[in-house]
Homo-oligomer: A and B are copies of this chain.
């Protein structure tokens, strides 16, 4: 007999079928035994035909033969009347109930230690289906706009964002580092004639942060585009991109309902507030970066005033941004922006410097040595268009979209200050 997936049961009413999956729950109710069966397509109710059937422990892998029946009281209106049940792989006694809630009654560290088991919880498991959907639509949108997907090395000999927060690798006789961002490569590939590139890949920050919104390895959704007039074009593109991603997510009601979300809202336009204006609104210190608290307060202000969960903060002071950022006409600002979502920074982007001389001078001004950046600077000497780009942190975006509590929940196998396992 061929295996039938749970989602296809409705086409087999009255027929005997073979199901394969996991035995998620066993419930006895007034002399009847109900089972919850799970496969990759979801959950199905089963009911035992005979009381005498042997049942393996919960979460065992099973093969079940039964007859599909319409049953108004069953979830989805369908249940499987079970004639035989065979154990493929027996489960030991569970360390905790997997259940159906997102926040299992266990602390986060235990959840992460038992990650593969915890992923069988529908709420936890759906987080990563949502992430796959976000990434798919990120690529789909950009591919339609002529962006080329690229894959650039994660082992580098030189820091991109400043030298402090790098993981060191022993690369044969040489010292190397894990990349903090594909920044240099994206720019080089714009100059290589591709003009528009994107990359989905891990980046690494050896930062000592141990907070609910920092990971030491995270998935960066990067893009870079040539022949722009200013960073406003990059923001326009991101706005359109996020509108697309969120509208596609809103079509996935099967995912959203797991989180009790009916629709993810997106504003008509994302408000754009300069750094200077933001600091004025917040009565903050213009000489310092936005604090986490200021980000949250600005988000609250924008939500009340513009009914938007998103806000672009534009024209950051140049001394808060990397050396490759294009300076603004108005000093001491530059053409760099952040996108905040529900009070958390999910994107940093900017127009970049494309003139070789300005870039070399800026390296020196930032206390760096142009000779260390020769491989990056080369293409700027052979015809480099004006360009800009951005990076979206996938896990942070997901935390915002689904209302998660801790960024570790949005990483399959998170790496933080202490955690290297699983």
Chain A residues within CB distance 8 Å of chain B: 3, 20, 22-23, 38-41, 59-61, 88-92, 94, 113-117, 119-120, 125, 128-129, 131-132, 135-136, 139, 143, 146, 148-157, 167-172, 174, 176, 178, 184-185, 188-189, 191-196, 201-202, 204, 206, 208, 217, 219, 227, 354-355, 375-376, 378-386, 412-415, 417-418, 420-422
Contact = CB atoms under 8 A, between A and B. Distances in A.
Contacts of A227: 3, 20
B195 A39 contact: yes
User: Which 8 residue pairs of A and B lie closest in terms of their CB atoms, listed nearest first?
Assistant: A375-B422, A119-B192, A40-B195, A61-B383, A116-B379, A116-B188, A116-B192, A157-B420
Contacts of A139: 136
A138 to B, nearest CB: 12
Nearest to A154: B202
Given A94-B382, A114-B378, A192-B116, A170 B172 contact: no
A136 B149 contact: yes
A60 B170 CA distance: 39
Contacts of A420: 155-157, 171, 174, 176
Taking chain A's interface residues, is the majority helix, strand, or loop, or is none over half, making it mixed? Answer: mixed
A92 B157 contact: no
A375 B115 CA distance: 9
A172 B417 contact: yes
Contacts of A379: 116-117
A119 B188 CA distance: 10
Nearest to A375: B422
Contacts of A131: 151
Nearest to A394: B151
Contact of A192 (B117, B149, B204, B385): B117
Given A194-B119, A375-B422, A128 B154 contact: no
10 contacts: A88-B386, A116-B188, A117-B378, A125-B192, A128-B148, A153-B413, A169-B169, A172-B417, A201-B201, A378-B422
A256 B154 CA distance: 29
B148 A189 contact: no
A206 B422 CA distance: 22
Contacts of A217: 153-155
